[in-house]
Amino acid sequence: MSLPKDVIHYIKGLMCSFENASCVSLSRYSPCSHDSLARVLNGKKFCWQTLLQNFLLRTFGRLQGGYLMIDDTVISKQFARTIENVAWIFDSKIKKSILGLNLVMLAWSNGKITIPLAIRVYQKQSGKTKIDLALELLAYAKKLGIKPKFVVFDSWYTAAELMKRVAAYRWTFVARLKKNRKLNNIPVREFHRHPYWMEQGTLSGGIKALVVRHGAKYFASNNLSLSKQELLSAYQSRWEIETVFRALHDKLGLDECQARKLESQMAHFHLCLMAYVALEKESLIQKRSFYQIKRACSFDFNTADNIVSMLFFQGA
């Protein structure tokens, strides 16, 4: 794999950044000028998904087993109304609508490491829903040859089409259901009065599933042989993608690109993912947390340089 030098410097700058991830800020921790870093976003037309895929292959090799997670996050752009595709989006974290971009992500984990595989930006005017984008991401994982133990997602992604696609791939889905979802034509909230139960049946959309109620929450899987504890434990693993989002937002400046073009924003997002992958690999090697490795890189370009250089050396 060969990455342009300025692209590598951008990744290292993200690893070193402490307060901000704009090109001006990144140039303080990199031998590249602001203009050189800006050209990475605005100049040559790279296939960023291919670059990310190659970077993942160089860093972790081919992924085996594990599980897949689908979720989305809001990229805050409250002070940047001129960025393409910015719209009012409801942010469930703060319970209100903000100006921003909506990013749908596919991630892989084996319980020890979590890796972002691919992203899509939801664009209302494109005619594609977030379910359509999730289907694209699943097809991408299938193309990579990944055979996950299960695919986990929350109630926003429990469209019949998506669950059928997972089943068609001969994968297992584990998902949370909305309380009005019907099982055998009865809303799950009315299926039993008892707050703890497990039943097999057919969900709306003609999907055979195992459904579990656990208190006020409802979960489902197309693997009818799972125990209640196995299903709940599998769903609990969805939290791993939330930890990736938190690290990207808080430590790698996912929200902070100031470029106006959506293509440039997408370039920045992919570069943030590559920086995350590099730090996650070093965390695995040193058996220290992601945040400890990030702190070691802050303000120290040499540390980031050594981490990324070692990735290229090991994969040579």
Is the same domain home to 175 and 244?
no
Residue 159 lies in a domain: no
Please tell me the predicted confidence (pLDDT) of residue 4. 79
CA dihedral 288, 289, 292, 294 (to 10 degrees): 120
Same domain, 204 and 280: no
Residues 179 and 193 in one domain: yes
- The answer as to whether 302 is a domain residue is yes
Q: Is 162 domain-assigned?
A: no
Say what the pLDDT of residue 99 is. 84
Q: What is the pLDDT of residues 43-85, one digit of tens each?
A: 667 889 999 999 999 899 999 899 999 999 999 887 666 788 8
Q: Let me know if residue 165 belongs to a domain.
A: no
Residue 52 within a domain:
yes
pLDDT at 316: 37
- 300 with 286, same domain: the answer is yes
pTM exceeding the 0.85 threshold for the entire prediction:
yes
Is 60 in the same domain as 201?
A: no
Q: How wide is the angle at C-alpha 1 spanned by C-alphas 56 and 40, nearest 5°?
A: 85
Quick one: three-class SS letters along the chain? CCCCHHHHHHHHHHHHCCCCCCHHHHHHHCCCCHHHHHHHHHCCCCCHHHHHHHHHHHHHCCCCCCEEEEEEEEEECCCCCCCCCCEEEEECCCCEEEEEEEEEEEEEECCCCEEEEEEEEECHHHCCCHHHHHHHHHHHHHHCCCCCCCEEECHHHCCHHHHHHHHHCCCCEEEEECCCCEECCEEHHHHCCCCEEEEEEEECCCEEEEEEEECCEEEEECCCCCCHHHHHHHHHCCHHHHHHHHHHHHHCCCCCCCCCCHHHHHHHHHHHHHHHHHHHHHHHHHCCCHHHHHHHHCCCHHHHHHHHHHHHHHHC
> What's the confidence (pLDDT) of residue 299?
73
161 in any annotated domain: no
Structurally, the chain folds into a number of domains equal to 2
Q: Which of residues 235, 258, 289 is at a domain's end?
A: 235
Q: Are residues 265 and 224 in the same domain?
A: no
Domain closes at, from 193, 220, 235:
235
188 and 263 share one domain: no
137/186 same-domain check: no
Q: From CA 235, how far away is CA 12, in angstroms rounded?
A: 34
* CB distance 49 to 269 below 8 Å: no
**Has residue 175 been placed in a domain?**
yes
**Which tokens go with 165?**
């696609």
Q: Same domain for 123 and 245?
A: yes
Structural domain including 203 reads 170-235
32/146 same-domain check? yes
Question: Is residue 60 located within the same domain as residue 206?
Answer: no
Query: Both 184 and 149 in a single domain?
Result: no
> Which one of 218, 235, 252 terminates a domain?
235
Q: Specify the pLDDT at position 315.
A: 43
pLDDT attached to residue 133: 97
**245 assigned to some structural domain:** yes
Residues of the chain scoring pLDDT < 50: 1, 315-316
